[in-house]
């Protein structure tokens, strides 16, 4: 097997750069709250729920009649959510066992990335003061939309990534959707190992007066898997199609999704930053593991 570095050098997908996102705090993209959302269900208390989503698609695939026409499949795959229904066709997506195995073959390249150590407990407690401010603000008219977003994004939810690219309500991008789901699943695989290693308590455990807006996940806080998954999707797609005019907005949306976990009261700002940094460092690994899927996704846009 060739070295990891050689594999990267031979990959046309490898790009140089840090991030396409803007440094200012993310604002809600137009239409983020209104209308339906493309939701793929998972445990609302989970870290991103990618494995649950992929399992669900696998089971649906087993039971589906292969002779049904494309239009009936499209209707069946639409998911109703509060106030609307998503019209994107997700299709049948199996658990990416081959990619998961390849990820673990490259374990030495991601298991100990230099993202630093979690903040000290005193620093985490100080960061809960920011969460208190967000807790008050989320009940104001100016931030009313955050509540709907928080509830929707508690599950693995793709509209926040599809909308900036202009394909939320379009068919014909199944490989792009599959890529996003695979990235989320692999990021979840990595993130849970960092969480277990550092075992950082959730904000409500450090400051019991906090009132989380959604159930607090049972696993550790740092890094945020929502942040890791969101930024991983953005970084990977920026390698797939760096010329896409929606890349900046994709990063902006990824940041808002990540920050919404702070507004929900279940993550510190430090968790969000760690998720972003880990996603950036993981991107070269994902480029190797997901090269075939990235090529298929790119072909949909050309």
Give me the CATH number covering residue 175: 1.20.144.10
The H-assigned helical ranges of 113-211 are: 121-137, 144-153, 159-162, 174-198, 203-206
Q: What is the pLDDT of residues 238-250, one digit of tens each?
A: 999 999 999 999 9
Q: Is residue 23 part of a domain?
A: no
Quick one: 17 exposed, middle or buried, by C-beta within 10 A (0-12, 13-18, 19+)?
A: exposed
Give the strand pairing for 80-81 and 84-85.
antiparallel
CB 293 within 8 A of CB 265: no
Q: Is residue 5 part of a domain?
A: no
Tokens matching residue 219:
């696993």
Q: Residue 289 belongs to what domain range?
A: 39-299
pTM listed for this prediction: 0.75
pLDDT beneath 50: ranges in the chain: 1-2, 8-9, 11-46, 57-91
Q: Is residue 194 part of a domain?
A: yes
Looking at the DSSP bridge assignments, the partners of residue 157 are 39
CB 47 within 8 A of CB 225: yes
Backbone angles phi, psi at 39, to 5 degrees: -115, 135
Q: Is residue 34 part of a domain?
A: no
Q: Is residue 32 part of a domain?
A: no
Q: Which residues, in sequence order, are CB contacts of 88 under 8 Å at separation 6+? A: 38, 78, 158, 162, 167, 168, 169, 170, 171, 177
Q: What is the pLDDT of residues 6-32, one digit of tens each?
A: 554 454 444 434 444 444 444 444 433
Quick one: 112 exposed, middle or buried, by C-beta within 10 A (0-12, 13-18, 19+)?
A: exposed
Number of domains the chain contains: 1
């Amino acid at each position: 097997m060739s070295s990891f570095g050689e594999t990267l050098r031979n990959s046309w997908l490898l790009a140089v750069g840090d991030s396409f996102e803007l440094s200012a705090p993310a604002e809600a993209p137009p239409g983020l709250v209104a209308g339906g959302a493309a939701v793929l269900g998972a445990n609302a208390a989970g870290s991103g729920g990618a494995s649950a989503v992929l399992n669900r698609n696998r089971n649906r695939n087993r039971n589906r009649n292969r002779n049904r026409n494309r239009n009936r499949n499209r209707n069946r795959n639409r998911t109703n959510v509060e106030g609307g229904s998503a019209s994107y066709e997700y299709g049948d997506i199996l658990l990416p066992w081959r990619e998961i195995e390849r990820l673990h073959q490259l374990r030495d390249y991601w298991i100990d990335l230099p993202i630093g150590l979690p903040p000290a407990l005193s620093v985490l407690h100080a960061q809960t003061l920011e969460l208190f401010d967000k807790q008050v603000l989320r009940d104001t008219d100016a931030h009313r939309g955050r509540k709907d977003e928080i509830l929707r994004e508690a599950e693995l939810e793709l509209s926040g990534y599809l909308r900036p690219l202009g394909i939320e309500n379009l068919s014909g991008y199944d490989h792009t959707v599959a890529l996003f789901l695979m990235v989320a699943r692999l990021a979840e695989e990595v993130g849970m190992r960092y969480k277990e290693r550092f075992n950082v308590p959730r904000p409500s455990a450090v400051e019991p007066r906090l009132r989380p807006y959604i159930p607090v996940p049972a696993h550790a806080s740092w890094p945020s898997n929502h942040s890791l998954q969101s930024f991983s999707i953005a970084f990977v797609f920026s390698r797939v199609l760096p010329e896409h005019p929606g890349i900046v907005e994709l990063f902006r949306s990824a940041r808002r999704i990540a920050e919404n976990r702070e507004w929900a009261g279940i993550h510190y700002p430090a968790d969000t930053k760690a998720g972003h940094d880990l996603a950036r460092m993981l991107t070269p690994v994902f480029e190797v593991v997901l090269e075939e899927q990235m090529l298929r996704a790119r072909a949909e846009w050309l």
